[in-house]
């Protein structure tokens, strides 16, 4: 953990019932609202993954107790607070897409803040379902944040705490600490920050072949710019393993559709060079797992405009998993009360979330727990990758299970 700040960023997923104060908590930690679009599955069915970064600092002067903050100065003694750990809080909109996203990007989440509001009985339905997702993912780095404790008083908060402890019995969060906070007043946020710095997180191997998910892409050129001054396309995303450096030759897969025929698709990987990188606050020359990284490439910006490269993966040339159009998975159904008992059938449409890619597909084969799906667009994924599977019930897409490729 000591080297986390040099070698990467701690990615923290946020889960919890929709009205339980996740956004206010994120604001209390990062002093900004999460960058999440309200529409979940829109144009190209891409899910907008929200990132909010913060730098946790510790006061040099305060020892008993230690003082943690995300401001420059210590609130206790006004002394200088020194950087300890960079974090990136990840969020996705809605309830269904949040759960699907958590499964799809599980390999880039290091820890979870699980938000439960004290002014409602625990567990609420969505709280139960989010806990189910954490159990599926086996994430053990969990901190339970008991929000809105100011609304219920001390006795109410204690009673609610007992409900939480009862609820987490037998789950991955059984031993998770419970931190009461009042986000709107930033009360007890310092204790939460301290707990985050004490999480035991396995460090990624910087020697591994780099692998990055693309979560954003854009054209940074102003309209009408003359050709000589044009910048290449920019892709943004999160490195899951390995390290990328300025000057690296990279491959972006599955790349772009180069078919001239409107009815057919032919995806070709893009090979390009990293011209520059940015971590959201400054230009950098190398990047490690965690956080949102922006990469300036030599790709034609027409390919990267308006998030059109979201869902791609990036790595060194020839070191990425192959492109797949037919995905064969072991399917596990999630226990949800509001989903009818109905087996997956041939030709059924499914929405699959794999990494940052969200793809429509049709079932070709469904035999017991083995499901084979033909995807509308190819994706790039290793075997063993977890895939979130949404099914359509009465005109609504519901997360109904997950697959393992």
Contact at 8 Å (CB) between 344 and 330?
no
Q: How far is the CB of 80 from Zn ion (least distance, A)?
A: 9
User: Total binding residues for Zn ion by CB under 5 A?
Assistant: 8
Nearest to 373 by CA among 342, 353, 352: 352
Say how far apart CA 387 and CA 137 lie, in whole Å: 11
Q: Is 193 in the site for Zn ion (CB under 5 A)?
A: no
Residue 224 burial (10 A CB sphere; 0-12, 13-18, 19+) = exposed
Nearer to Zn ion (CB atom), residue 189 or residue 295? 189
| Coil/strand/helix, residue 171 | coil
Q: 142-147 and 68-69 as β-strands: parallel, antiparallel, unpaired? A: unpaired
Residue from 1, 7, 27, 62 in contact with Zn ion (CB under 5 A) = 62
Residue 155 burial (10 A CB sphere; 0-12, 13-18, 19+) = exposed
Q: Is 65 in the site for Zn ion (CB under 5 A)?
A: no
The span of 74-82, 184-192, 281-289, 374-382 binding Zn ion (CB under 5 A) equals: 74-82
DSSP assignment letter at 187: B
Q: How far is the CB of 62 from Zn ion (least distance, A)?
A: 3
Nearer to Zn ion (CB atom), residue 59 or residue 192? 59
Q: How far is the CB of 117 from Zn ion (least distance, A)?
A: 30
Q: Is 73 in the site for Zn ion (CB under 5 A)?
A: no
Q: Is 74 in the site for Zn ion (CB under 5 A)?
A: yes
Nearer to Zn ion (CB atom), residue 62 or residue 246? 62
The span of 70-78, 222-230, 352-360, 392-400 binding Zn ion (CB under 5 A) equals: 70-78
Contact at 8 Å (CB) between 49 and 215?
yes
Q: Which two tokens stand for residue 232?
A: 């290449």
Q: Is 84 in the site for Zn ion (CB under 5 A)?
A: no
The span of 58-66, 98-106, 191-199, 380-388 binding Zn ion (CB under 5 A) equals: 58-66
Neighbours of 125 (CB within 10 A): 12
Q: Which two tokens stand for residue 228?
A: 């000589």
Q: How far is the CB of 197 from Zn ion (least distance, A)?
A: 15
- Phi, psi (deg, nearest 5) at residue 134: -65, -40
Residue from 49, 56, 59, 240 in contact with Zn ion (CB under 5 A) = 59
Q: How far is the CB of 65 from Zn ion (least distance, A)?
A: 10
Nearer to Zn ion (CB atom), residue 61 or residue 247? 61
- Phi, psi (deg, nearest 5) at residue 330: -90, 120
Nearer to Zn ion (CB atom), residue 80 or residue 209? 80
Q: How far is the CB of 76 from Zn ion (least distance, A)?
A: 4
The span of 64-72, 130-138, 277-285, 305-313 binding Zn ion (CB under 5 A) equals: 64-72
DSSP assignment letter at 114: E
Q: Is 79 in the site for Zn ion (CB under 5 A)?
A: yes
For residues 213 to 252, the per-residue mask of contacts with Zn ion, x marking binding by CB under 5 A and - elsewhere, is ----------------------------------------
DSSP-assigned states of every residue in 189-250: HHHHHHHHHT---PPP-TTSPPEEEEEEEE--PPTT--GGGPPPPEEEEEEEES-EETT-EE
Contact at 8 Å (CB) between 49 and 35?
no
Contact at 8 Å (CB) between 294 and 278?
yes
Q: Is 75 in the site for Zn ion (CB under 5 A)?
A: no
Residue from 18, 77, 230, 404 in contact with Zn ion (CB under 5 A) = 77
Nearer to Zn ion (CB atom), residue 149 or residue 193? 193
Contact at 8 Å (CB) between 397 and 363?
no
Residue 46 burial (10 A CB sphere; 0-12, 13-18, 19+) = buried
Residue from 31, 39, 61, 319 in contact with Zn ion (CB under 5 A) = 61
Residue from 7, 76, 163, 257 in contact with Zn ion (CB under 5 A) = 76
Say how far apart CA 60 and CA 80 lie, in whole Å: 7
Q: Is 67 in the site for Zn ion (CB under 5 A)?
A: yes
Q: 370-380 and 323-333 as β-strands: parallel, antiparallel, unpaired? A: antiparallel
Residues of the shown chain interacting with Zn ion in the complex, contacts defined by CB under 5 A: 59, 61-62, 67, 74, 76-77, 79
């Amino acid at each position: 953990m000591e080297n986390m700040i040099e070698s990467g960023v701690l990615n923290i997923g946020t889960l919890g019932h929709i009205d339980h104060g996740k956004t206010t908590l994120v604001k209390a930690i990062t002093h900004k609202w999460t960058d999440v679009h309200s529409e979940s599955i829109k144009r190209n069915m891409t899910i907008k993954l929200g990132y909010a970064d913060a730098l946790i600092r510790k006061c040099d002067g305060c020892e008993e107790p230690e003082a943690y903050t995300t401001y420059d100065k210590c609130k206790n003694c006004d002394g200088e607070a020194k950087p300890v750990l960079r974090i990136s809080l990840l969020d996705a909109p809605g309830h269904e897409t949040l759960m699907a996203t958590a499964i799809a990007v599980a390999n880039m989440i290091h820890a979870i803040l699980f938000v439960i509001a004290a002014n409602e009985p625990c567990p609420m339905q969505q709280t139960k379902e989010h806990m189910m997702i954490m159990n599926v993912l086996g994430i053990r780095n969990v901190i339970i944040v008991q929000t809105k404790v100011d609304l219920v008083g001390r006795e109410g908060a204690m009673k609610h705490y007992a409900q939480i402890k009862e609820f987490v019995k037998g789950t991955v969060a059984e031993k998770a600490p419970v931190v009461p906070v009042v986000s709107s007043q930033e009360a007890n946020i310092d204790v939460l920050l301290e707990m985050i710095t004490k999480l035991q997180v396995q460090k990624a191997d910087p020697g591994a072949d780099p692998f990055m998910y693309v979560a954003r892409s854009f054209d940074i050129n102003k309209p009408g710019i003359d050709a000589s001054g044009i910048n290449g396309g920019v892709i943004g995303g999160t490195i899951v393993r390995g390290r990328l450096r300025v000057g690296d030759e990279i491959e972006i897969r599955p790349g772009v559709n180069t078919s001239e025929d409107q009815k057919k698709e032919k995806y070709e990987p893009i090979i390009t060079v990293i011209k520059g990188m940015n971590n959201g606050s400054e230009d950098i020359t190398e990047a490690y797992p965690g956080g949102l990284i922006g990469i300036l490439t030599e790709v034609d910006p027409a390919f990267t405009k308006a998030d059109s490269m979201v869902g791609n993966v990036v790595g060194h040339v020839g070191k990425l998993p192959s492109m797949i159009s037919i995905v064969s998975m072991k399917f596990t159904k999630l226990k949800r009360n509001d989903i009818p008992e109905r087996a997956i059938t041939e030709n059924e449409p499914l929405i699959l979330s794999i990494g940052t890619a969200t793809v429509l597909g049709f079932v070709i084969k469904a035999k017991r727990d083995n499901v084979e799906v033909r995807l509308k667009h190819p994706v790039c994924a290793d075997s063993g990758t977890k895939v979130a599977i949404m099914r359509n019930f009465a005109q609504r897409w519901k997360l109904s299970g997950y697959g393992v490729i």
